[in-house]
Amino acid sequence: MGERGNTPVLKKTVVLVGMMGAGKTAVGTALARALAVPFLDSDEEIVKAAHRSIAEIFERDGEPFFRARETEVLNRLLHGAPCVLSTGGGAFLAPANRALIQQAGVSVWLRADLELLWQRVRHKTTRPLLRTPNPRETLRGLYEARLPSYALADLAVDAAPDYSVEEMAERVAQALATRPDVYAPEASKSDATRSGATRSGAFKPAETE
C-alpha cells in the first residue's frame, strides 16, 4: 500500500474480527492511520455508553446484556462514515452481527494460532472470560468453538510472532485490495472528501501491541 504513493479511499467500514490477542486494536490503529480514516473499537464504545468497564458489565448485567449492547453499537458504527472497526472476540459469533457487517462493511479475520494468542493474553487481567481456574484451557475452548464463525469472514489474514504491527496492517490492506467493493477509484476525490480521507498519507509504523 505504501508504495502506491496515494492513500486508497475507503468505501465501506473494515471490521476486524478474531480472538482476544489477535492484534485487532494494534493492527486496526495502524491500518486506520494508513488509510487516513478513524479507528474505532466496539468494546470501547460500549464502555462509553454504559459508563462501566467490560468486566463490570459482565459481572453486574451478564453476558446476554453485553451482547445486546454490542449489536446496538455495531449497527450504529457500521452506518457511520467508513472507518476501521475492531470488535470484541465474541462479536462475530452472533448471526445478527454477521448480517449487519456483511450488509454495511467488510470483515477481516486476524487468524492467529492458540499458542500465539495465549502468549499475548496470559498476563492480562482485563479479559472477563478468562477469569477461570484454568485460563489456558478456557482460551482453548473459546478458540475451538469460535473458529467456525470466524471462518465465515470475508477475508482472513494470518498473524505470526515475527510480523510487526505495521507488517500485519500492510497484509490486511493488501487483502482488502483484492475486493473491488472496498476502495474507491484513485481519481474519486469526491469520495475522499466524503470519507474525510486525505490523498497524501503514506504508511507509517504503529505502536507495538
pLDDT category of residue 191 using cuts at 50, 70 and 90: very low
**177-186 average pLDDT score:** 88
Q: Could you report the per-residue pLDDT of 88-109, keeping only the tens digit for each?
A: 989 999 999 999 999 999 999 9
Query: What is the CATH code for 15-178?
Result: 3.40.50.300
Higher pLDDT, 205 or 56: 56
Task: Quote the cell numbers at residue 113.
Answer: 494460532
Which helix H or strand E contains 117, and what residues bound it?
helix 114-121
Higher pLDDT, 43 or 7: 43
DSSP 52-101: S-HHHHHHHH-HHHHHHHHHHHHHHHHTSS--EEE--TTGGGSHHHHHHH
* Cα angle for residues 93, 116, 1 (degrees, 5° grid): 80
Q: Could you report the per-residue pLDDT of 37-79, keeping only the tens digit for each?
A: 999 999 999 999 889 988 899 889 998 999 999 999 999 999 9
Say what the pLDDT of residue 198 is.
31
Say what the pLDDT of residue 55 is.
84
What pTM does this model have? 0.81
CA–CA distance, 84 with 10 (Å, rounded to integer): 9
Q: Could you report the per-residue pLDDT of 123-156, keeping only the tens digit for each?
A: 766 566 667 778 888 889 999 999 999 999 999 9
Mean of the per-residue pLDDT values of the chain? 84
CA–CA distance, 201 with 71 (Å, rounded to integer): 32
